Amino acid sequence: MNAVPELSTFDRLEQATATEVLQWGLEKFGNSLAIATAFQAEGMVILDIAARISPSVRVFTLDTGRLPNQTYDMMEMVRARYGVTVETVSPDAAEVEAMVARHGPNLFYGTVPLRNLCCEIRKVRPLERKLGELEAWVTGLRREQHESRSEVRKVAASRGKVKISPLADWSTEQVQAYVREHDVPMHPLYEAGYRSIGCAPCTRAVQPGEDDRAGRWWWELDSSKECGIHFTPEGKAERKLDVLLSEVLEARRA
């Protein structure tokens, strides 16, 4: 297994272009690298760049069981356009069953810790299992997306793996320009005013003047607009999540 590169390599890659960063990742990690995407604009741009470097690049998505139908259409679009079979990663069915039995199917509307629990079961834990197969993974994070992402690095160590965010320093305009220039397939929900697309019940179109993340968990006014994949909830929400998760896992084992 490849060793995690020295920090000096990470620092050097901060000055590299998105193509150069992906080229480095694909050469270093080969089939032990995969792109994680929900088929939003950033993920599709990354996929397009990577497919030009290596048509056999691996791509996976987290199928939470609550995705909009248009996201499944994008999986087929990727297959048709790039010849890539998207690897789908699903939550543990028994964990979902135990969570829903205890808190109901729409628990995420209740409290921030309950929403974090749903994300933990449906997204974070499945991702952890998938990362067990990999040495490196690629995300579409950009610093401009939200203040919580303002210090995202292009290459960093995360969850014991190398996390690559080749578009970290791109603006929205750069993403849109690449999409137009290369005719990159776009998620149909963008035409309906969506800017950040996740699970169907937890995502809405944004209003004029709102940032791209405003449509995610819009009923939460003061909480972090993150699911726990990229940033861990802090403070009381995290401690409450630990309790809720332990209760669900105990019920799953019963």
pLDDT in tens, 236-247: 556 688 888 988
CATH number at residue 22: 3.40.50.620
pLDDT at 137: 97
Assess if residue 15 is contained within a domain.
yes
118, 199, 202, 227: the catalytic one is 227
Assess if residue 230 is contained within a domain.
no
Assess if residue 222 is contained within a domain.
no
Q: Known catalytic residue: 227?
A: yes
What's the whole-model pTM score?
A: 0.86
Assess if residue 28 is contained within a domain.
yes
Assess if residue 80 is contained within a domain.
yes
Residue with tokens 């032990």: 32
pLDDT at 69: 96
Q: Which residues of the chain have pLDDT under 70?
A: 1-7, 222-228, 230-239
Assess if residue 2 is contained within a domain.
no
pLDDT at 221: 76
Domain count within the chain: 1
Assess if residue 132 is contained within a domain.
yes
pLDDT at 7: 62
Sheet holding 58-62, edge to edge: 87-89, 58-62, 33-36, 136-138, 161-164, 155-158
Tell which residue, 154, 148, 150, has the closest CA to residue 232.
Answer: 148
Assess if residue 212 is contained within a domain.
yes
Q: Which domain holds residue 83?
A: 7-92+126-216
Cα–Cα distance between 132 and 205 in angstroms, integer? 34
pLDDT at 20: 97
